[in-house]
Structures are given as structure tokens and as C-alpha cells.
Amino acid sequence: MELANLAKCLLLGLIILGTQIHGNKGCFEAERLALLNFKKFVVSDGADADHLLSSWVDDSMSDCCKWERVTCNSTTSHMIELFLNNTRQHDIDSESLFDGENIWFIKLSMFQQLKELRNLNLSYNEIGGFIDYDEGFERLSELKKLETLDLSYNWFNNSILSSLGALTSLKSLILSWNNMRGSFPSKELNSLKNLKILDISVNGFNGSLSLEGFERLEDLDISYNQFDKSILSSLGALTLLRTLKIGWNDMEGSFPVQELNNLKNLEILDISYNGFNGSLSLEGNFISHLICYFYW
């Protein structure tokens, strides 16, 4: 009897402890507070986040899994998706989004409590960097289950790339429409062995492009940069590619289709608006199911 009563007490204690940690309304308290801290930070920057994030209320009885822009796991109640795109309510069709006059800096450490997060979208925010740069990505690396990171339509430069390599679970990394220049530092990211989608379009990258270590890539978009056709030989090693977009670069002369002959899985190839000329002989096994876009 004493052992049975002891077991009941232990079970009751665990239930009470779990309730205190988890809260009474679904979401975890630490995760709820992390979102409220983000909202306070955005408001302090002058944005009308009270209107945009009206469901994010500082009420312990409010279930943050039901807040706008938040998705939780239905079983564990941990946050798994967070959509913070266009937090400051820009007119995304306005040229002012790209004039650099409203650049701001955020704290990455605010997200360190969201350890079950799979998808984080910070696009369309004009973010220029991080206040806690030295430790921010070190803390963000605690998001060991993060699979999709969208940083497009911001003002990041190359300096963030060296830290992104800590997010080793990433499958999709979107860096389009930023302020990156020069050679793409592939070695900084070659720890991302699970990466399947990489979008670095609409930046100012040029020079060489070695993607050693990115053999699992299925979708690659490097369009709207300043690459020349010398990079094509290295792209030919990405044999799992299904989509390759290299349009709007500085490629000239005849198109060296033989460089891509190993891409047996390629389904979409966009080489439009470069400086290619002459005939385009599409031969090789990788052509059988290919949709090709080639506007000179």
C-alpha cells in the first residue's frame, strides 16, 4: 500500500510540474514569452505591431498556439512554424522597401527558446543585421530541428553566412534580395549537408562558385547575379538537381551544354537573359524530360 501511495504521489507531482512548465492553455510558457519579447522589440522600433500581431497578448491564459503567424505541433504543443515576414507592414510593391532608409537590427537570441521550430520566415523586413551578432547565431544554433529559413528581401551582407553553417538541419535556405556582394563563400556553408534548396538570387555575387559539399541540392537559384559561365563546370557535379536557374547573369558566348551532362534528374533549366549566342544543341541524357527557358 505504501509503495502504491508513493507512486500516486510521484505521478501527481509530475502532472503538477508539467502543468507549471507547460501552462494551462496549450503552448509552453517560455515560447509564449519569446514571442511577446519579439513583439515588444518590434514596437520599440516604431512599428504598429499591436495592429499586426493583435492576437499576441500578454495574458497567461491565452494559448499562443492559436496566435496568428504561429503553428504548433498538435501533439506536443511546441511551436514548429513562425511566420514573421513583413512584420513592420511595408508596402511590398513600393520601391521604398529597397531604398535602405528603414534598415533595422534584431536580436536573434529572442528565438533560442523555440527549440522545436522547423520553419522560420523573416522575409520582407529590411533587416540589416543583428544586435547580438557575436552570440546571436551561437544561440540560434540551438534550433537543431530548423529545416527552412527564409531571410529574403532584407539587407543582410555576406557577414551572416559564416554563422549560418551552425544550422546543420537546414533543408531550405532562402537568401534572395539582400545586399550580398563578391564571391559566394561556399565553404562557410558546407556543413549544411541536408540542404536541398538554396536560393541566392538577386544579390551581387560574382567570381567562382564551388559547391563542394552541397551534393544533396535539388533546387538551386543563382539568377540575377554577376556570375560568368565558368561556374557551370562546378554545377555539373550536383547530380540530384531538379531545378537550376542561372538567368540574368554575365554569361556570354556559346552555351556549354556538355558541362551539365551529368544532371540526369534536371527538369527545369532557366538560362534566360544572359549573353549566350550561337546555336544551342541540347544533347545528352539529362535533356529527356527538361523544360528549358532561354531568352537571349
Per-residue pLDDT tens over the stretch 213-239: 899 999 999 999 999 999 999 999 999
- Cell 551532362 sits on residue: 261
Separation CA 194–CA 144 (nearest Å): 12
Domains in the chain (CATH in brackets) are: 67-293 (3.80.10.10)
Determine the distance from the C-alpha atom of residue 170 to the mean position of all C-alpha atoms in its chain, rounded to a whole number: 8
* pLDDT at 22 exceeding the cut of 60: no
User: What are the grid coordinates assigned to 213, written together?
Assistant: 559539399
Residue 3 has pLDDT above 70, yes or no: no
Using CA atoms, how far residue 55 sits from 39, 45, 50, 51, 124, in Å, is: 11, 19, 9, 9, 21
How many Cβ atoms from other residues are within 10 Å of residue 189's Cβ? 22
- Residue 167's nearest CA partner among 203, 186, 142, 150 is 142
| Percentage of the chain lying above the pLDDT 70 cut | 79
Contacts of 75 (CB under 8 A, 6+ apart): none
The rounded radius of gyration (Å) of the Cα atoms in the chain is 23
Region 57-75: mean pLDDT is 94
Higher pLDDT among residues 186 and 292, named by residue? 186
pLDDT over 90 at 84, yes or no: yes
d(CA 45, CA 98): 18
Grid coordinates of 111:
528565438
User: Is the pLDDT assigned to residue 20 strictly greater than 70?
Assistant: no
If one compares 288 and 171, the residue with the highest pLDDT of the two is: 171
- Stretch 268-293: mean pLDDT: 74
Q: Is the pLDDT of residue 140 over 70?
A: no
Average pLDDT over the chain, rounded to an integer? 84
